[in-house]
Amino acid sequence: MNFSLFGKLKKFGITPDFLLVILGNLWIWRMFSKNPIVALSSFIASWFLYRSLKNHKLYGLFIVGLIILAIFQIRQTEIYSLTYLTEQEKVVQIRRLNEYPPVKLNLWGKIVWIPLPHWLEERPEALILYRIQKNLSDAVSPNLYFFSNHPNERVGIKEDEKFPYLLLPFFIIGLLGIEFRKNKTLLFFSVIVPLALVSLIGDKVDSEPITMFPLMGVCSVFGIEYIKGLVRKLKSPTLRNLLPAIFICLYILIFLQTMLYDRY
């Protein structure tokens, strides 16, 4: 019987790779410093999602965890109307209005002017569409999660490092490798709901879009597991041992680097 710590955790599906990614990032530790309940909910929701994607019937518990995170995110978000424009956005709007050429139609000898600039730039429907599009583009940007949103830093928002940038290729591999066809409900709640929430209420939230944390973390875990499977198939025992060791060392160094940058 395995009485080691990892042996006991593995019985619950908590693998070293899972712990490395979910706890080895500054995002969850900032959550702990601000609200331990949010951090614990993020960890548990990530675990339920991880287990659900491995064909365990825990997606109902993941949905509950995600709803809890959504409540915290809504409460912590500085929500503005979808038609609200900042002073900078108003200046941009005026500039864009002046860039439109006059639009007119000649109908039966009578000139009819078309207020196309007003329809595309000032109508509430257009403003709502632009705002949702912008919020969504911010939420799906890898820069937001791996590079402190550089070079798209936002005015009035402190951009923080969330996951070590070393995880970006593993996240992409994991995201592409996950098959949601087996469970459309899981697809809806793990991907569609978090993105829709950020699109509608924005991302001016104290703990960042925390409903995205389980998906970002778990995809990175799956990517690491996939690459580890390829490494195990290498014929060279030296490479099989050396490559994981190099990865762990790089991960620790990058994590310490981002921690120091975050403090100063």
Sequence-distant (6+) residues with CB within 8 A of 28 are 22, 39, 42, 43, 213
Calpha distance 76→126 (Å, rounded): 27
Cβ neighbourhood burial of 134 (10 Å; 0-12, 13-18, 19+): middle
- Nearest alpha carbon to residue 164 among 72, 256, 91: 256
Is-contact 170 24, C-beta < 8 A?
no
pLDDT digits (tens, 9 = 90+) for 30-73: 999 888 999 999 999 999 999 888 877 778 889 999 999 999 99
pLDDT in the model for residue 3: 47
Sequence-distant (6+) residues with CB within 8 A of 244 are 228, 231
Q: Which has more confidence, 172 or 258? A: 172
Confidence label for 230 from pLDDT (cuts 50, 70 and 90): very high
Ordered by start, the domain boundaries in the chain are: 11-78+140-263
pLDDT digits (tens, 9 = 90+) for 165-220: 999 999 999 988 887 667 778 888 888 999 999 888 876 766 678 999 999 999 99
Q: Percent of the chain at pLDDT above 70? A: 87
pLDDT in the model for residue 213: 94
